[in-house]
A = this chain, B = another copy of it.
Amino acid sequence: MLQDIGKRARQAAQALALTTDSQRAQALDNMARQLMAETEAVLLANRADLDQAMDEGMPSAMLDRLALNPARVADMARGLEDAARLPDPLGKTLWEDKRPNGLVIRRVSVPLGVIAVIFEARPNVTADAAGLCLRAGNACILRGGKEAIRSNLAIAAALRRALKDSGMPEDGVQLIEATSRESADALMRLDRFVDVLIPRGGHGLIKRAVEYATVPVIETGEGVCHIYVDRRADIAMAASVIHNAKVSRPSVCNACECMLIHRDIADAALPVIARKLLDAGVTMKGDADSRALVPEMLAAGEDDWGHEYLGLIIACRVVKDFEEAILHIARYGTGHSEAIITQDPSVAHAFLSQVDAAAVYHNASTRFTDGGEFGFGAEIGISTQKLHARGPLGIRELTSYKYIITGNGQTR
């Protein structure tokens, strides 16, 4: 029963909130060790998941995300150890004031409480999400995709055993066995016990969570990232950055999906940039002005603007000025990561101020929007909403705060 899972999570969260930094770090180290010790069981479970997935004709890219091997299990364990080494985000005094009436008010960081994560067929998320939630003193309720259920259960079992052996509540990590759509829906409405829901997955899952959840949701992931090549761009830099942002890992949310180029530099820059992309096997889809300069380009339709390809395709548009670039991004961007390439500091400043996105870049690749690259350690997702947290969700973003007020009998 999901209600019972919720109740147990709430109880575990209350206990976890009172643990010390070193207890939590030790528990994560024990989880890493236990996961390594149970590698064989995890791989056996994964083998069963893979067999079924292959029988059912799962595409190879998905099979690759589902597949575990000893190295990938070791990666998960290392992720847990890395999380253990992150600085404690709890109990920090974020602000303090002594009021004229003598009251001392402190804003102190505390865990969020119970975090629910709904994810798809990537078993590593079980260990990664559990580790980050626990590092920040939270209990988690995980609901993974049905394709990975055996793997997820095996991983969660190891983590729970380690928690128990560490003297921590094993219900700090719970995995929901039911993988029906109903179980995800029910979790979305468990607001009595869940403080926040993080959906990790495709557009459909996130849309469902936004529309159906009564639990507060942090929207993650959708990334239609643009790179704008200003008239005063360094052309070699533009080519290198766009190539990197498109090609280095096209399937992720911080990859570049669309380049905008100022018409004053298009003649000189676009053929250079396009050459590098075409040589890397990128399909380019452009407006008429772009295609006039790069004959290999296909025609872009209205659907191409704002399209998250998640593959080796890039849209390309020549803009008549800075304002047109800004308007394009405001209209088609998803508030994830947006970049400008320019040698003009005042244009760069205008871009960084005016573009409304989690991360705005001057002369760098959008691919850096990542918890590790930002120095936060691992992340549980990239928030594209403005409430609570924006950009990479590291352990700091998995905390809340409370006000602690001490007096000597003050009344109002």
Contacts and interface: CB of A to CB of B under 8 A. Distances in A.
A195 B97 CA distance: 30
A359 B409 contact: no
Interface in A90-108: 97, 99, 103, 105
* Secondary structure type dominating chain A contacts: mixed
B196 A411 contact: no
A374 B403 contact: yes
A210 interface: yes
Interface in A328-379: 330, 348, 352-354, 356-365, 367-369, 373-375
Max chain B C-beta neighbours (<10 A), residue from A113, A217, A241, A406: A406
Interface in A112-148: 112-113
- Please tell me how many copies of the chain the complex holds: 2
Contact of A387 (B330, B362, B373, B388): B388
Contacts of A196: 386-387
A359 B216 contact: no
Given A237-B409, A241-B409, A411-B367, A353 B387 contact: no
B411 A248 contact: yes
Contacts of A364: 103, 405-411
A409 B234 contact: yes
Interface string A387-411: 1101100000000111111111111
Chain A's interface size range is 35 or more
Nearest to A396: B95
A412 B368 contact: yes
Nearest to A17: B356
A39 B18 CA distance: 54
Interface string A204-223: 00000011001011100000
Contacts of A353: 17-18
Interface of A: 14, 17-18, 97, 99, 103, 105, 110, 112-113, 191, 195-196, 210-211, 214, 216-218, 234, 237, 240-241, 243-245, 248, 330, 348, 352-354, 356-365, 367-369, 373-375, 385-388, 390-391, 400-412
